């Protein structure tokens, strides 16, 4: 089988299980290092002609990361496209099995069971209300029904915007500061928050700088995500 992945986390999942399947990946596919597959552009702007030139048996995508017009063009050319939808840990694990076992015909990988086991053994923090920005200029935060929000809730973080009608609401900074949070969680993707870019906007709150790969990717990173994220949260809270 020849697979083109348009999602970095799915690239990592396939590469960790059957790397020989990958013939094309996006420019944003950074894990594992040393991928030998052809690069086919970004997640939002893949080179459809380049994808088709690789003669894939399957293109894998995500309903949030990829644009429907690009996927429609691939389907119109006769290419099979599998689109994942992930809003929770359980759904992420199910979609990974659907891809790897159902679509690719592989054995269920050991790391998938290890990920499920790692999350089943999580000991959450005492509940702490938090705001979780994912962008600035304008400020955007995690809202309802998100994969990252579900992971954080399992670790004891209560997203103060979890009941918002938007999944990624735009909220003025003054409102974020006054929203009742006792912690700000700052991932390094999609916006790259750092120690000098982000915490200064919330001077009254402890800031947890967390790995975006461990917070937002669904794949092999889920095996170590509970420990990595918990350590960052505990360090911020003292």
Q: Return the closest-CA partner of residue 180 out of 155, 167, 162, 199.
A: 162
Same domain flag for 78 and 147: no
Residue 117 within any structural domain of the chain:
no
Asked if 22 and 5 count as a contact pair (C-beta separation under 8 A), the reply is yes
pLDDT tier, 162 (very low <50, low <70, confident <90, very high otherwise):
very high
Same domain flag for 180 and 93: no
Same domain flag for 38 and 66: yes
106 token code pair: 């592989």
What is the count of structural domains for the chain? 2
Q: What is the pLDDT of residues 121-160, one digit of tens each?
A: 999 999 999 999 999 999 999 999 999 999 999 999 999 9
Same domain flag for 49 and 148: no
Give the whole-angstrom CA distance, residue 119 versus residue 110. Answer: 15
pLDDT of residue 114: 97
Give the whole-angstrom CA distance, residue 187 versus residue 162. Answer: 17
Q: Which residues contact 28 (CB under 8 A, 6 or more apart)?
A: 8, 42, 43
Same domain flag for 163 and 95: no
pLDDT of residue 103: 97
pLDDT tier, 88 (very low <50, low <70, confident <90, very high otherwise):
very high
pLDDT of residue 198: 97
pTM of the model: 0.93
Residue 207 within any structural domain of the chain:
yes
Asked if 76 and 62 count as a contact pair (C-beta separation under 8 A), the reply is no
Apex CA 181: angle with CA 180 and CA 183, to 5°?
Answer: 160
pLDDT tier, 75 (very low <50, low <70, confident <90, very high otherwise):
very high
Write out the residue range of the structural domain in which residue 102 sits.
Answer: 3-108
Residue 216 within any structural domain of the chain:
yes
Q: Please give the mean pLDDT across all residues of the chain.
A: 97
Mean pLDDT of 193-214: 97
pLDDT tier, 41 (very low <50, low <70, confident <90, very high otherwise):
very high
pLDDT of residue 48: 97
56 token code pair: 């894939």
Same domain flag for 154 and 202: yes
Q: Last residue of a domain, which of 108, 141, 163? A: 108
Same domain flag for 94 and 154: no
Same domain flag for 104 and 180: no
pLDDT of residue 152: 98
Residue 115 within any structural domain of the chain:
no
Same domain flag for 164 and 68: no
CATH at 36:
3.40.50.1980
25 token code pair: 């990946």
pLDDT of residue 25: 97
Mean pLDDT of 18-45: 95
Q: What is the side-by-side strand order in the sheet with 157-159? A: 157-159, 128-131, 183-187, 207-210
Same domain flag for 33 and 128: no
Same domain flag for 42 and 139: no
Q: What is the pLDDT of residues 167-178, one digit of tens each?
A: 999 999 999 999
């Amino acid at each position: 089988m020849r697979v083109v992945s348009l999602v970095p986390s799915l690239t990592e999942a396939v590469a960790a299980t059957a790397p020989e399947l990958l013939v094309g990946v996006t420019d944003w596919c950074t894990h594992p290092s040393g991928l030998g597959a052809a690069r086919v552009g970004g997640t939002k702007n893949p080179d459809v002609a380049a994808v088709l030139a690789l003669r894939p048996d399957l293109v894998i995508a995500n309903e949030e990361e990829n644009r429907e017009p690009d996927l429609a063009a691939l389907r119109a050319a006769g290419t099979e496209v599998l689109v994942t939808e992930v809003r929770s840990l359980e759904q992420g694990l199910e979609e990974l099995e659907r891809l790897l076992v159902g679509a690719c015909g592989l054995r269920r990988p050991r790391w998938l069971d290890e990920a499920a086991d790692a999350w089943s053994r999580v000991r959450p923090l005492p509940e702490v209300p938090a705001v979780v920005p994912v962008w600035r200029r304008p400020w955007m935060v995690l809202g309802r029904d998100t994969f990252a929000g579900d992971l954080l809730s399992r670790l004891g973080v209560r997203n103060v915007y979890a009941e918002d009608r938007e999944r990624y609401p735009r909220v003025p900074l003054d409102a974020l500061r006054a929203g009742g949070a006792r912690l700000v969680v700052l991932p390094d993707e999609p916006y790259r928050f750092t120690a000098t870019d982000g915490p200064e906007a919330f001077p009254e709150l402890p800031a947890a700088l967390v790995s975006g790969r461990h917070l937002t990717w669904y794949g092999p990173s889920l095996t170590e995500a509970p420990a990595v994220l918990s350590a960052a949260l505990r360090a911020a809270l003292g």
